[in-house]
Amino acid sequence: MRAVPKRPAAKGSSPKRRAFSKAEAAEFYRRLAASRPIPKTELEFINPFTLLIAVVLSAQATDVGVNKATPALFAIADTPQKMLALGEERLTEMIRTIGLFRTKARNIIALSRMLIEHHGGTVPRDREALEKLPGVGRKTANVVLNVAFGEPTIAVDTHIFRVANRTGIAPGKTPFEVETGLERLTPAEYKLGAHHWLILHGRYVCKARKPDCPVCVVADLCRYGAKTAPSEMPAELIRARAEAVTPAPLTETSVSRPLGRRARRRV
């Protein structure tokens, strides 16, 4: 009896990967937590209002770029009242280096007015109220609730969306699907810092173009089938990183980067 040949996978499809168990998810976060014992946002802020403004400005922009513009802004406008007094025209000039600065300036002035008129000039600790503010969506609301008020929310940005899907810990077609999956699988003791661990892992290790799998502390748990430089990741290295109680913190300068054109010519 002849074996029935396997039907080739449809174009663009990928084989279904084994889902993370709760134990694997707990180990996943344990290692990320060990590599960054004090998870925190890289956005600079003074109070809940300036945090809200920084997160609004960070949409389709980098934290580094936002942090270059906000110190001068927050020095003179760290409350909704002061932001209104600053005015849209001057605000626009102060954030000109940030993408979509005109739209963001208009939204910031409008949300500052709403905070004064509807919330007594304070940032509300309520998702629905936050999402009613101009320029504020679910992701921004989650960041503010987590960072300003200590709520165990998980804000899914492009980095977290990529990490969740690439590693297989919480795959989803939309940010909300990924958020729901992470909420379900993330152990309670890690939920408060989960957003920061995942975003920093995506920013510095599990990068979009080429993930730095050789320095990844969760490489052996990851379901990604195209890990970079597998020959540089012997089992001993993976086990050593996995078993390390306090592995060295990862920074942007400690991970490998591709050589530039001139450097490649000299090699």
Q: What span, in angstroms and rounded, lies between the C-alpha atoms of 66 and 63? A: 5
Q: What span, in angstroms and rounded, lies between the C-alpha atoms of 128 and 147? A: 17
Contact between residue 32 and residue 217 where contact means Cβ atoms under 8 Å apart: yes
Contact between residue 200 and residue 254 where contact means Cβ atoms under 8 Å apart: no
Name which of 249, 238, 264, 241 is nearest 196 in CA terms: 249
DSSP state of 218: T
| Long-range pairs for 67-75: beta carbons < 8 A, 24 or more residues apart | 67/42, 67/43, 68/97, 69/94, 69/95, 69/97, 69/98, 70/44, 70/45, 71/44, 74/45, 74/46, 74/50
Catalytic-residue membership of 22: no
Q: Which of 16, 68, 78, 139 is catalytic?
A: 139
- Dump the DSSP string for 138-150: HHHHHHHHHHHH-
Catalytic-residue membership of 139: yes
Longest Cα–Cα distance of the chain, Å, equals: 84
Torsion of Cα atoms, 66 then 56 then 135 then 208, to 10°: 80
DSSP state of 9: P
Q: What span, in angstroms and rounded, lies between the C-alpha atoms of 250 and 7? A: 43
Q: Which of 16, 157, 191, 220 is catalytic?
A: 157
Q: What span, in angstroms and rounded, lies between the C-alpha atoms of 175 and 164? A: 10
Active site residues: 139, 157
